Amino acid sequence: MNPSAVTAPTGSGGGGRLSFSRSSQDTLQIAFTGGWKITESLPSLSDVQRELESGSPVRSISFDTTGLTAWDSAYLTFLLQIIEESTQKQIQVSQDGLPEGVRRLLDLATAVPERKGAAKQEKHTPFMERLGTTSVRLWNSNLEVFEFLGETTVAFLKLLVGRARFRPRDLWVTIQECGLEALPIVSLISALVGLIFAFVGAIQLKMFGAQIYVASLVGIAMTRIMGAVMTGIIMAGRTGASFAAQIGTMQANEEIDALKTLGISPMEFLVLPRMLSLMLMMPLLGLYSDFMGILGGMLIGVTVLDLNPMDYYNKTIEAVTLTHIWVGLFHSAVFGVIVSLAGCLRGMQCERSAAAVGNATTSAVVTSIVSIVVATSIITVVCQILDI
């Protein structure tokens, strides 16, 4: 009866405005004036809700748009909200007062009912249920890992009897990618690690005048563990990630399905050459890394500690026994398997989207690094027990 006008707080002259009047006891008329556009500041739905709740109960709503100068999707969403609100409250909405175009678009928007079960809701689930589903999921992902391991083994067995199907060219390309092309970064990191070891060791050993033992320290540390661990981590970030991304993208593009429908096993065609090449290259890179690390140590020994290069060389040869080298090689071989498995596994598990490829890559690197550290600990303890 007494029309109350609601204006958007900051609304300038062009902004949309809203006013209410009761044309009869239970009919609310909403009048829209001004420009209802996305770029303008507009009143919010709560104004309408407040009006609906105040005063006598409303049975029907009608619209007056004589003062409406412009509208776009912002106006439509506002109307849809009003319609939804009133459907819930069982209020009739008469669209007669709306401009022709608005009415037609509203018809379109409400023509196809929401597909049942299509909208995904966040349901609030009780703690125990979440615990249950999480455990089931974890268990299932374990099963997937074992399944993958099994399939890999089968693929390798087929390789042994010469029945595995892959293109030799792919093998060479991956060998090049994860061997030759990794040399620069492996050189840099390993030399720096050797250098750092030498520095840190030197500070302590100097106190006893035993600088020359820097050579044994660096030599043993690099050959036994650090060379392998550093290459492992470098390759996890470099090659493991790229395996996951390559295979994941192929999964997302249905390229893997295309292989399967040709009867070509993706395990043989994609996973096998990648695993083979990394397993071959990793030990070699590990050895190379040992060498670079020792070189880095020597650089510090000779320049900072004033050691004789010949002495340093002899001390290194004396300290680094074949056993250390074998242990290091064993580490590398294990890491090669871990990194390539993790990369290929995460790639094969990838779902069909760009985000999933990103997740697969991250997950491959995380899995590799965690497994590398765990494996190193286990090997170290076992070596301790066996007294190697």
* Residue of 268, 240, 242 lying closest to 256 (CA atoms): 268
Task: Give every CB contact of residue 327 below 8 A, 6+ residues apart in sequence.
Answer: 223, 224, 225, 379, 383, 388
Measured CA to CA, the distance from residue 7 to residue 11 in angstroms comes to: 7
Site for another protein in 257-296 (CB under 8 A): 257-264
Bridge partner residues of 94 (DSSP): 62
Contact 217, 321 (CB under 8 A): no
One residue of 115, 123, 124, 163 binding another protein per CB under 8 A: 115
| Least distance between another protein and beta carbon 111 (Å) | 7
Say whether residue 91 binds another protein (CB under 8 A).
yes
Say whether residue 250 binds another protein (CB under 8 A).
yes
Measured CA to CA, the distance from residue 282 to residue 349 in angstroms comes to: 24
Say whether residue 111 binds another protein (CB under 8 A).
yes
Contact 31, 50 (CB under 8 A): no
Measured CA to CA, the distance from residue 123 to residue 117 in angstroms comes to: 13
The angle at the Cα of 114, spanning 108 to 118, to the nearest 5 degrees, equals 140
- By rule CB under 8 A, what count of residues binds another protein? 27
Among the candidate windows 107-115, 218-226, 287-295, 306-314, which touches another protein by CB under 8 A? Answer: 107-115
Say whether residue 90 binds another protein (CB under 8 A).
yes
Site for another protein in 194-233 (CB under 8 A): none
* CB closer to another protein out of 206 and 260: 260
Among the candidate windows 3-11, 106-114, 136-144, 325-333, which touches another protein by CB under 8 A? Answer: 106-114
Among the candidate windows 22-30, 203-211, 247-255, 363-371, which touches another protein by CB under 8 A? Answer: 247-255
Judged by the rule CB under 8 A, the positions of this chain that interact with another protein are: 86-87, 90-93, 107, 110-111, 115, 117, 165, 167, 246, 249-250, 253-255, 257-264
